[in-house]
Amino acid sequence: MKISPDVSKRAQKLRLLVEYHHGLYHEKDAPEISDEAYDSLVRELFKLEQKFPELKVIGTPTERVGGTPLEHFEKVIHAVSQWSFDNVFNEEELIEWDAKIRRFLKKEQGNIPEFSFCAEHKIDGLKIILTYKNGKFVRGATRGDGVVGENITENLKTIDAIPLTLKKPIDIIVVGEAWLPKSQLKKINEERLKGEESPFANARNAAAGSLRQLDPKVVRKRNLSAFVYDIDFIDFKGQKSTIPKTQVDELELLKDLGFLVNPHFSHSLDVVGIKKSYDTWIKKREDVDYGMDGLAIKVNEISVQKILGYTAKSPRYAIAYKFPAEEVTTVVEDILFQVGRTGVITPVAKLRPVWVDGSTVSRATLHNEDEIRRLDIRVGDTVILKKAGDVIPDIVRVLTELRTGKEKVFSFPKKITECGGDGSIERIPGQAAYRCVAKDSSAQLERKLEYFVSRKAFDIDGLGKRLIKQLMEAGLVSSFADIFTLKKGDIVNLEGFGELSADNLIRAIDDSRSISLARFLTAASIPQVGEETAHDLARHFKTLDAIMSASEADLASIDGVGPIIASSVFGWFHGNAHTESLKKLLREVKIESAENVDIKDLPLSGKTFVITGSLSSMSRDEIKEKIKSLGGSVSSAVSSKTSFVVVGSEPGEKVRQAKKFGAQTLSEDEFLAKISS
């Protein structure tokens, strides 16, 4: 297959960029991008080399093990070559790896011997190789480039988890991982900041940086630990012992000799068992005091390991099953525009589809023009995309090193078709955002109607985006009130509807005719008024009539409102554009008055909650409503003001942020107990 100049240039630039970040990570312990983003670059280069073998050069970084040993340490030639694992990132790739080793065994043996798997935590630390003579620790080294490492014996002697004398006087070479407890990282970074040093980006870099200190006293102060997980060589020196036949046997022997072995390994008969263990530890990885970025999967039977052997850089019998990446690289294919319900225009990046944090992402908000300029995002750029848990995907960096000169500089247009009228747009005074000049475009109306019927507002079951569009195109709905005047005959002949589904929709609309004041204010799409402000207004004024009668000064005096929001609310209720439509709507719905309760007397008054993951007992909207009804507030981001982080199943980055900001985490049961007490 002929290689285009663009592909060839892309591979060359990728190779240089991977080399650069490889050196920062392995040799300087000072990475500029996350491990996940680095893996993503290596992965793209590997795929290009697989598709176009001619692109592969001698010494390609996709086949390199570790980094070059540092000059100020004595060099150590390893008695047994060291390797790094290949990675898989999802169940499909795991299944393919299993199939590949079975094909290899069939080819080599003519049959496939029975084998199973051992799954261990993949610790995010620094690989170490420990040598013992007659049971005495004589040398410790880093992996280095796999052939030559660095002699860090004196530093490793400061780690209490590494025994200086084994329980049996044998010769042995073992492999493990030195790691820094997460609880220690915060203390170390505080000390570095006081000394005007840059903080370590993560526990792995801190561990590596510590072990490369020239003064062992500094290393001892950092309280590192270490797990040992493999035996490279063993001579029992006449001692009564059995040579391990499996990886599980090896781990048990290592424990018996006095090494610290991670207790969370498991034995699986097949990939189904591996996946079960993987799913368990995705949820529990924050429960341990060390960083882990996946599971290390090994064929359990050592006899089968020997048949499988090694590739140029990795053992065939083992793989790293990585947890879903929260940062990946992808390409900005275009920049589109999204018109919101209040006419605000949001630029959106159309991305080359990429798997990140458990789902495929093809779009990411660019927020506003200023943010695009700050990051210097251009169409055609390779970017680092971040997504964690329920956080909206975000572009955090442009990899300008991969630019070819064909990228297109972005500039905000003067007109957007979706704005209606002549499509003109304008910058909002005092903000970095643009909005439609016309206030009545069909795109804005469609967004408003979608939000009006959503769970946060009137919560009309069965009435979603697709149906709103159908009703608008059929000329059946052009205002909020129109939704409540729909009859069965209006919708029974629409595509996808029949007698029963039409009856169900009309019933759902009728069931939604009564709404709280706060939810009504949220549903109305009043500029500047979100859920929190709506609750503030409802709590203060109690009734819709009181809000409509309030002056701008009355509105502005409420804590959390202020003059800008007050002007928007006053203008919305007193402008001709909404007066008539509001009258029509009030003929169809009942707005319940807010309870006459002082918020300061409510049990969650002054408490701010953040929710992460899924809760089984109630929906996220129900949780928010419950918290607000008890006087609390809900935020989308963890900060120093956060009181509690409610943790459901499959939580995201917010659990880590809770620890960072000192917020208390609550399980679902603990949260339910708190709101019930």
Active site residues: 122
The Cα 55–Cα 63 span in angstroms is 13
The Cα 405–Cα 56 span in angstroms is 24
The Cα 353–Cα 363 span in angstroms is 8
The Cα 205–Cα 95 span in angstroms is 32
Which residue in this structure is represented by tokens 């692109």? Answer: 55
Nearest to 519 by CA among 585, 562, 458: 458
Angle between the 5-26 and 35-51 helix axes, to the nearest 10 degrees?
Answer: 140
The answer to whether 142 touches 149, Cβ cutoff 8 Å, is: yes
The Cα 608–Cα 599 span in angstroms is 14
The Cα 150–Cα 626 span in angstroms is 58
The answer to whether 458 touches 518, Cβ cutoff 8 Å, is: no
Nearest to 621 by CA among 462, 493, 458, 488: 458
The answer to whether 565 touches 529, Cβ cutoff 8 Å, is: yes
Nearest to 259 by CA among 235, 303, 228: 228
The Cα 45–Cα 330 span in angstroms is 13
The Cα 525–Cα 577 span in angstroms is 13
The Cα 490–Cα 487 span in angstroms is 5
The Cα 320–Cα 537 span in angstroms is 53
**β-strand 344-356 against 136-142: which pairing, if any?**
unpaired
Tokens of 124: 């995010």
Tokens of 616: 């089984």
